[in-house]
Amino acid sequence: MTQKKRIALVAHDERKDDLKAWAKDNAETLKQHEIFATGTTGKLIQDSCNLPVNRLKSGPLGGDQQLGAMIAEEKLDILIFFWDPMAAQPHDVDVKALLRMAVLYNVPCACNRSTADYMVSSELFSKDYNPIRKDYSGYLGRFEENQ
């Protein structure tokens, strides 16, 4: 993970205003990094915070899966995902898969403003950082035996 981070910003509908407010408060810091976002969230951040955003598809149309693939390919360093704990999402399976990938690849993940605040205020946020990745190769044999 280099000094310039590749950061994903994602928010469910009821949390978009929260993420927009957080991004506005941290726009100067975020400008120093490369931002990715799912469709509608990306447009909102781009327009309201004047930040360049690499926009992907909307979450339900595959944007969450695109971000998961970026994590697996080690093309994403940080995930900030303000998800709505009060509403069932039609693409809950995709959301769970995205969060699983973040944990699997040891990608820092903030699901609320407090955690996002701690993350951007960390001295590690602006430095090179080498996260320790767990070696899951021992699991491969177990998966092959079950098939």
The closest of 119, 122, 110, 125 to 18, measured between CA atoms, is 110
Whole-angstrom Cα distance, residue 119 to residue 124? 8
What are the beta bridge partners of residue 36?
Answer: 8, 54
DSSP per residue, 62-129: THHHHHHHHHHTT---EEEEE--TTS--TTHHHHHHHHHHHHHTT--EE-SHHHHHHHHHSGGGGS--
Q: Has 84 been annotated as catalytic? A: no
Catalytic residue among 25, 64, 84, 117: 64
- List residues with catalytic annotation: 64
